[in-house]
Amino acid sequence: MHALKLNLGNWQFMPGLWPTLAAIGLILLTVHLGNWQTERAHDKRLLQVRLESADRAPALAVGPRAMDKEHVLYRRVMVLGLFDPTHQILLDNRIYKGVAGYYVLTPLKIEGGNRYVLVNRGWLPVGTSRTALPQIRPITTQVKIEGLALDPETRYFELPGARPVGRLWQNLDFEQYVARSGLSLQPFLLQQHNDTGDGLVRDWPRPDTGIAMHESYALQWYG
């Protein structure tokens, strides 16, 4: 059975029913995927506006009271407190200028209560050997940390089945970290920007909203 018959000179076009239905289904699917990527690009534009607005806004003070994640995300924040090195972890395979290293994540006990905020303090190189983790210069006095509130669930590539080994983690699984540490944490990761004399590198790239990537994918699906 043919769904359609067209004669164009010596050329005859007679697609079958099932190929026609399959083609229609494929077209609808690719249009749907193109629309989805277009919507994602729109959402990322809104995020870009939010980031630019946060850059101009004064820093938000973080206290011991639980904060709303959506209210604080991607805003500049500042907090006073004491670092807790007993629950410090290192995120492995973080590359800076072609050199392998770690991100140092340390919870900070917020002044005035028993709540903490997890701080990404910066990067340091692996060193001469992976058999021993590097020593991080301790900070035992109260500090003021300034930086950017980020989503703690942002993940990087990791091998299947990769699990934390002691203090060494491949990625931050925030729920798992809360369960293991037993700490009451604010619902965001604080990316530290100010210098606290610990020798860590804090040359952070600006958060990439990925607008161009979504627009490119949308064009491919529409094409």
pLDDT at residue 188 in the model: 95
Give the closest residue to 123 by CA, choosing from 199, 186, 52, 25.
199
Q: What is the 3-state secondary structure (H, E, C) of the chain?
A: CECCCEEECCEEECCEHHHHHHHHHHHHHHHHHHHHHHHHHHHHHHHHHHHHHHHHCCCEECCCCCCCHHHHCCCEEEEEEEECHHHCEEEEEEEECCEEEEEEEEEEEECCCCCEEEEEEEEEECCCCCCCCCCCCCCCCCEEEEEEEECCCCCCCCCCCCCCECCEECCCCHHHHHHHHCCCEEEEEEEECCCCCCCCECCCCCCCCCHHHHHHHHHHHHC
* Residue whose token pair is 């770690």: 102
pLDDT at residue 37 in the model: 72
pTM of the model: 0.71
Rounded to whole angstroms, the Cα distance separating 179 from 172 reads: 12
Task: List, for residues 31-41, the tens digit of each pLDDT value.
Answer: 777 677 776 66
pLDDT at residue 207 in the model: 61
pLDDT at residue 28 in the model: 77
CB 196 within 8 A of CB 139: yes
Spans of the chain below 50 pLDDT: 156-160
Q: What is the 3-state secondary structure (H, E, C) of 177-213?
A: HHHHHCCCEEEEEEEECCCCCCCCECCCCCCCCCHHH
* Residue whose token pair is 């590359």: 95
Q: What distances in angstroms separate CA 131 from CA 74, 106, 108, 134, 168, one per listed residue?
A: 36, 21, 28, 10, 12
